[in-house]
Chains A and B, each alone.
Chain A
Amino acid sequence: QVQLQESGPGLVKPSETLSLTCTVSGVSISNYYWSWIRQPPGKGLEWIGYIYYSESTNYNPSLKSRVTISVDTSKKQFSLKLSSVTAADTAVYYCARVEGPYKIFDYWGQGTLVTVSS
C-alpha cells in the first residue's frame, strides 16, 4: 500500500534552514503531485507547496520566498527546505500525495514535529 514517511531534524535554530525528506513507498513517484503541509501545535493546517515528478512546483505565496521543494525520483523521495526559520515555523510537518483529478490529499505521512529554538 502507499506509504509516506517524513524524516529530518526535530530541532532547528532560528535563522537557519529547516530540511525534511519524505520517502514514498508502494507507488511510483511519477505521475503524481507531492505536497508539504504543516500544522503549528494546537492550530490548523497550512499548505506549504507541491511538486510534480517533472519538478514543476507551486508554493503558498505567504512562504514562497523561503521555500524550496525538490524531488529525487531515483530515491522515491521529495524534500522541503524552509530558510530563515523563526519560532512561528514550529509545527508538525506532513508530506502528502495529491490525487490527480480532484487535487485532494489522499495519502499522508505520520508527520514530524520540528521545533525552532536556540
Chain B
Amino acid sequence: EIVLTQSPGTLSLSPGERATLSCRASQSVSDNFFAWYQQKPGQAPRLLIYGASSRATGIPDRFSGSGSGTDFTLTISRLEPEDFAVYYCQQFGSSPGYTFGQGTKLEIK
C-alpha cells in the first residue's frame, strides 16, 4: 500500500502570504493519478488539482501543483481568507486503489 505523508500538519500564515504544502509518497506514484483537495468545515472535499499540476474547473490560478514520483507540492501564491481550510493529497494505484494523505490544516496566523 502506498502511504502519503503530508507536511506540515498545521501551517499558520496570514492573508497575502504564500503557502507551500508538501505530500510525500512511500513509493513512486503516477503523476496522472495524483490530486489535491480542499475541505472546509462541514463540507465535502473539493477537487483543486488533478494530474499533479492541472487545475480543476473554477479553481483560481493562485493554486498550483507540481512534483512527480514521490514528492508533490501544492502552492497557493497569495492567500485569500477563503483559502484557510484542510488540504488533502490523494493517489490512485493498482492496490489498494486510493489512498489519501492525513491532511494539512492551513490556519490564519
Please measure, in the bound complex, the distance between the C-alpha atom of A23 and the C-alpha atom of B95, giving whole angstroms: 27
Q: B100, A45: Cβ atoms under 8 Å?
A: yes
A61 touches B47 (CB 8 A): no
Given A44-B88, A108-B45 in contact, is the A49-B35 Cβ separation under 8 Å?
Answer: no
Task: With both chains docked as a complex, state the minimum distance between the C-beta of B39 and any C-beta of chain A, in angstroms.
Answer: 8
- Nearest residue (CB) in A for B49 is A104
Q: Check if B67 is an interface residue, CB within 8 A of chain A.
A: no
Shortest CB-to-CB span from A51 to chain B, Å, is: 12
Among A49, A62, A96, A102, point to the contact of B32 (Cβ < 8 A): A102
Collect the chain B residues with CB atoms within 8 Å of residue A104's CB.
35, 47, 50, 56, 90, 92
- Type the 1/0 row for B10-52, where 1 means its CB is closer than 8 Å to any CB of A: 0000000000000000000000110101000001111100110
Asked if residues A101 and B45 are in contact (CB atoms below 8 Å), the reply is no
Q: How many residues of A contact B (CB 8 A)?
A: 25
Complex: A69 Cα to B47 Cα, angstroms: 23
The residues of A that contact B35 with a CB separation of less than 8 Å are 102, 104-105
Binary B-proximity of A80-118 (CB < 8 A = 1, otherwise 0): 000000000000001010010111111011110000000
Q: B residues touching A (Cβ–Cβ < 8 Å)?
A: 1, 32-33, 35, 37, 43-47, 50-51, 56, 88, 90, 92, 95-103
- Other A-B pairs beyond A44-B100, A46-B100, A94-B45, 18, CB < 8 Å: A35-B98, A44-B88, A44-B101, A45-B90, A60-B97, A61-B1, A61-B95, A62-B96, A94-B44, A101-B32, A102-B33, A102-B35, A102-B50, A104-B47, A104-B56, A105-B45, A108-B46, A109-B44
Residues of A within 8 A of B (CB): 35, 44-47, 49-50, 58-62, 94, 96, 99, 101-106, 108-111
